[in-house]
Structure 1
Amino acid sequence: MLSDPPVAHARYTFGAWRSSISIPPEADFMPDSTTILVLGAGELGMAVLRSLAGRAKHSPGTTVSVLLRPSSIDSADPHKRRDIDELRSLGIGLLPADLAIASTADLSALFERFHTVVGCTGFVTGGGFQLKVARAVLDAGVRRYVPWQFGVDYDVIGRGSAQELFDEQLEVRDLLRSQDRTGWIIISTGMFTSFLFEPSFGVVDLALDTVHALGGWDNAVTVTTPEDIGALTAEILFEEPPIINQVIYTAGDVITYGRLAEVVELVLGRKVPRKPWSVSELREELAKDPGNPIKKYRVVFAEGRGVSWDMSKTFNARRGIEVVDVERWARGNLK
C-alpha cells in the first residue's frame, strides 16, 4: 500500500491546520508540480479520483488528494472502508474537513496549497453551498477550478427554471467569468446514464413495466456514465495545450425518449408500454408537491432546453474517445 501524501495527516480542526499539517518544501508547489484536490468521493468523485490517480502516475510532480468528512475517513461501514482503502492504495491523500459546516475562510485556508480543485459534491447540501466553495477557491488563489457543473447546460436553461438550484449554478459561472486570477473549466456531461433507469425518476419504470417520455418522444437528453465522466475529466485536465476558461461538453449518448423505449424493448426482448408525460402534466404534478426535487427535474428535462447537445461538439467525439452509450449500458445492467 502506498503511503498518503502529507495532507492526509491534518487534524480535524481548521484554526490550527497550518501548524498541524505536514507541508512539503515550497519547491513542491512550483508550477511544474500540479497538486490536485477533489472535493468528495461519491459515485462521481471515486470515478474522477481513479482516473486522475492513473494519469498522475505518468506525470512526475503531480499529486492527487481528496477532501472528505472526518466521519467518512474513520467510518467502520464496510462500503466506506472499502473506498478509503482503495483511495490509499491509489496513493491519494485524504484531507479531512466538512464542506457543509466550514466557513469560506476555513475552506480558503485549505485550498490555497492546491493548484487545481475539482468539485464532485453534487447538490446534497442545498442552496448557497456551491457559491461558498467557489468564493473560497477564488480567495485561495487556486490556479484552476472545475466546479460542480457536471450536468446540463445552465447557460441555455437560464434563470427561473423549475429547479431553483440551477440559478446558483449560473451565479457560480458569473463569478468565475468576472475574474481572471483563477482559470476555470466547466464540464457539461448531461445526466448520469443510470438515472434514466432510476425507479424514482420514473422514465424507465420496470416496476410498472412502462417507459415514460418527458415532454414527448422526440425530446432528447444527453447522458454520460460516471466512469466515462471520470476518464474524460482526467483527459481534459491533462490536455495539452491546457484547456482554460471554457465550457467543455461530453456525452456517452444523446438519445430521444422514443429511441430509449426501443432500446429497452430490444434489451428485454419484449414490448414495453409507453406513456408520454407532457410539460403541462408535469408542471401540475410539481404544483401539488413543490418541494419534490425529482418532479422539478422532470419539468426541466421535459421542457428540453439545455439538456442535450450535438454529439459532434463533445470532447470525446472530437478526440475519438470511446464511451458507453445507452444500449451498451442497458445490456450490462438491465435484468
Structure 2
Amino acid sequence: MPIPPSILILGAGELGTSVLEALSRHPKHSSTKLSILLRKSTIETQDPSKRKQNTYLRSLNASLEPGDLASDSIAELAAVFKRFHTVVSCSGFGLPPGTQTKITRAALAAGVARYVPWQWGIDYDVVGQGSAQDLFDEQLSVRALLRAQDAVGWSIVSTGLFMSFLFKPEFGVVDLEGRKVRALGGWEGRLSVTTAGDIGRVAAEMLLDPREGEEGVVYVAGDTVSYSRIKELVKERFGGEWVEEVWDEEFLKGELRKRPDDGMLKYTNVWAVGKGVAWDMGSTVNRRRGIELQNLESYLRDMPDL
C-alpha cells in the first residue's frame, strides 16, 4: 500500500493536534503534504491565543485549509476533500446532529482514496442501535454508508475511552477531588482506554506505514482494565481513604430519566451496559505492530499528587 501524497485532518482539538504532531514527526512523512481544516474565521483571527495555535500548527509542516464542517454543504466539503488523498476526521464533539454522516457523504462524493471517520471510541456495532447515547446511532449510519460502497477505502479506529475521561468527575469513574472511585455496572466490568497522544501515534503509523489487514474496523488500546483494577491502581497511587461506589445499570437509567438531556450521563449509561467498550490487547493494532503505548499504571504515575 502506498504512502499517501496528501492528508487532510479535520479539526485541531486535542485529537487532531495529536494526530498532526505524530504525522509531522514520523520518519516517512517527508513525501506527504499535511493540511488541517479550520474555519476561515479561525485562520484569519486576530485573537492572540488562536493566532499562537495557528503558528504552532504551521510549525508542524501543515497548511491551514478553510472549511466549516457544521455549515458547509456536502458539495462544498467534497470540493475541498477531493484535493486530498486521505481525509482523517478528528472533529466530533459539539457538532450538530447529522454532521458525521454529512462529512462521510462528502468524502464519498469526493472519491478520496482513504477516509478515517470520527469513530475514535467504542465498537458501535456491538453497542447497537438505540443505546442511551443517541449520538451513537449516527455512528452506525456512518458505518452503513461506508460498507455500502467499495470506491473509497476506509479504516475505523476503535480506541476505547480517552484515558483522561476516567478522571472527569462528571463521567463518574474517578473523582480525584472528592476521593471517590466507582464502577459503572460492576467491579468486574472492563473497558479499554488510550491516551490522545497514543491515538495520534498509532494513527500516524497506520497512515504513513499502511499495511494489509488494517482496513475496516480495527482496535487500539493503551490498556484494557476492570473497574476493580482501576480502583486498586488509584488507591495505590494516591493513598488515603476513598469512597467506593457502584453505579449499576438500573441506578443510571433512573438518573437519566431525571436528567434526559444530560449528555455525559448518556455516555455513563452506555459504559455501565458494558457492550462494545472493551477488547483484548492481543487484538489491537499496537500489539500486532509492537508499538508500546501508555497503560493506566504509567498514566497515574505521571499525574500530579493530590
TM (norm. structure 1) is: 0.87
Letter in 1 for 2:230: L
Q: 1:18-71 deviations in whole A, cap 9, x for unaligned?
A: xxxxxxxxxxxxx8761100000100000000111122x634531110001123
Question: Does residue 35 of structure 2 align to residue 61 of structure 1?
Answer: no
- Which of 52, 55, 71 is equivalent to 2:41? 71
Equivalence map 1:94-173=2 (5 Å): 94-173=64-143
- Measured in 1, the distance between the counterparts of 2:3 and 2:242 equals 56
Q: 1:238-296 deviations in whole A, cap 9, x for unaligned?
A: 23435553211000111111111111111102231201111000000001111111110
The answer to whether the Cα contact below 8 Å between 1:185 and 1:243 also exists between their aligned partners in 2 is: no
Closer, same or farther in 2 for the Cα pair 1:255/1:102, shift >3 Å? same
Please identify, of 253-262 and 146-155, the stretch whose mean Cα deviation from structure 2 is larger: 253-262
- SS of equivalent residue, structure 2 residue 217: strand
- Measured in 2, the distance between the counterparts of 1:211 and 1:33 equals 44
The answer to whether the Cα contact below 8 Å between 1:219 and 1:304 also exists between their aligned partners in 2 is: yes
Question: Does residue 250 of structure 2 align to residue 302 of structure 1?
Answer: no
Deviation at 1:126, TM superposition (A): 2.9
- Measured in 2, the distance between the counterparts of 1:72 and 1:328 equals 36
Question: Does residue 283 of structure 2 align to residue 313 of structure 1?
Answer: yes
Work out the percentage of aligned pairs sharing the same amino acid: 50
Q: Gapped runs of 5+ residues in structure 1?
A: 1-30
Aligned to 2:207: 237
- Measured in 2, the distance between the counterparts of 1:329 and 1:265 equals 14
- Which of 279, 283, 286 is equivalent to 2:253? 283
- Which of 60, 76, 90 is equivalent to 1:90? 60
Question: Does residue 20 of structure 2 align to residue 46 of structure 1?
Answer: no
Aligned to 1:18: none
- SS of equivalent residue, structure 1 residue 108: helix
The answer to whether the Cα contact below 8 Å between 1:69 and 1:96 also exists between their aligned partners in 2 is: yes
Closer, same or farther in 2 for the Cα pair 1:150/1:96, shift >3 Å? same
Count of residues in correspondence between the two structures: 304
- Greater gyration radius: 1
Equivalence map 1:11-30=2 (5 Å): none
Letter in 2 for 1:191: L
Question: Does residue 6 of structure 2 align to residue 35 of structure 1?
Answer: yes
Please identify, of 41-50 and 254-263, the stretch whose mean Cα deviation from structure 2 is larger: 254-263
- Which of 225, 236, 239 is equivalent to 1:255? 225
Closer, same or farther in 2 for the Cα pair 1:140/1:240, shift >3 Å? closer
The answer to whether the Cα contact below 8 Å between 2:23 and 2:29 also exists between their aligned partners in 1 is: no
- Measured in 1, the distance between the counterparts of 2:166 and 2:108 equals 35
Letter in 2 for 1:40: G
Runs of 4+ deviating beyond 4 Å: none
- Measured in 2, the distance between the counterparts of 1:240 and 1:293 equals 36
Letter in 1 for 2:101: L
Supply the RMSD in Å over aligned alpha carbons. Answer: 1.5
- Measured in 2, the distance between the counterparts of 1:319 and 1:59 equals 18
- Measured in 2, the distance between the counterparts of 1:79 and 1:221 equals 36
- SS of equivalent residue, structure 2 residue 275: coil
- Which of 199, 208, 217 is equivalent to 2:178? 208
Closer, same or farther in 2 for the Cα pair 1:210/1:58, shift >3 Å? same
Deviation at 1:334, TM superposition (A): 4.2
Aligned to 2:146: 176
TM (norm. structure 2) is: 0.95
The answer to whether the Cα contact below 8 Å between 1:184 and 1:244 also exists between their aligned partners in 2 is: no
Q: 1:115-156 deviations in whole A, cap 9, x for unaligned?
A: 000000013113100000000000001110000000000011
- SS of equivalent residue, structure 1 residue 80: helix
Closer, same or farther in 2 for the Cα pair 1:271/1:109, shift >3 Å? same
- SS of equivalent residue, structure 1 residue 296: helix
Higher relative contact order, chain-length normalized (CA < 8 Å, sep 6+): 2
